[in-house]
Amino acid sequence: MNYHILKLLLIGGFLIALSGCAHYQFQSNNYEVQLPIKKLTATGYGTAEKSDKFSRSQIKLMSIRSSKLDAYRSLSEQVYGVRLTGVTTVQNMIVTHDSYKSFVDAYLRGAKILRSVAINTDKYAGDDTFETVVEIELTPHFYECMNGSPAMVNACLQQPMPAMPESELSTPFSSVSPKIKPAETLVASVNPPAHCNSMDCYDYPVTSGFNRPLLDRPLFVE
């Protein structure tokens, strides 16, 4: 009789130990991951030719502005992509005309200039070449919406858009840098990939494409 009681006690203790292990494994697999903010950078170049119509200072300012716009264009290409249109004319099996144009339709908010320096200055010719580096930060919430399910996409689209200052409505590139939201807790279903497509991906989920309605909403700023 004592043998059967001891046997039942051992079996009960073994089952309790197994349930404890299963509970621990369940808890360990449901931890929440907090990913860092992704930073995109782009470099632009600009120059201005010598002209008697403009002073030395005007030429320099035009070169700086040209490099800034080129940097913003490169940054927009990373986020929005580039739309190409082309025309090719073939006559008698010979290409007689071939041309293409590229378009970038974007609205950047929160982009900031890291530096704008002269890389080639010729005091005799009067034409300067400037290099400008710009940066924009995308929070994890931005990528959650981009990689989320249709239900999550609809939820992101329903979020109210922040009020836009009047100064930003008059220019496609804002000089005001809104405060970036801190990284928030993510769902555990987001698993970092084993490789990166670029050096600055910081183990972010691979994004195969962008949803234009979502890009038009500044999800990455307050």
**Per-residue pLDDT at 202 exceeds 80:** no
Using an 8 Å Cβ cutoff, are 174 and 75 in contact?
Answer: no
**Per-residue pLDDT at 40 exceeds 60:** yes
User: 134 falls in which pLDDT band (50, 70, 90)?
Assistant: very high
**Per-residue pLDDT at 126 exceeds 80:** no
Distances (CA, A) of 190 to 130, 138, 141, 210: 41, 16, 12, 17
User: 92 falls in which pLDDT band (50, 70, 90)?
Assistant: confident
Report the run of H or E that residue 99 belongs to, with start and end. Answer: strand 94-103
**Per-residue pLDDT at 121 exceeds 60:** yes
Per cent of the chain over pLDDT 70 is 42
**Per-residue pLDDT at 45 exceeds 80:** yes
| Torsion 161-163-168-170 (CA) sign | positive
User: 39 falls in which pLDDT band (50, 70, 90)?
Assistant: confident
Q: How many C-beta atoms lie closer than 10 Å to residue 149's C-beta?
A: 9
Q: What is the mean pLDDT of residues 45-67?
A: 85
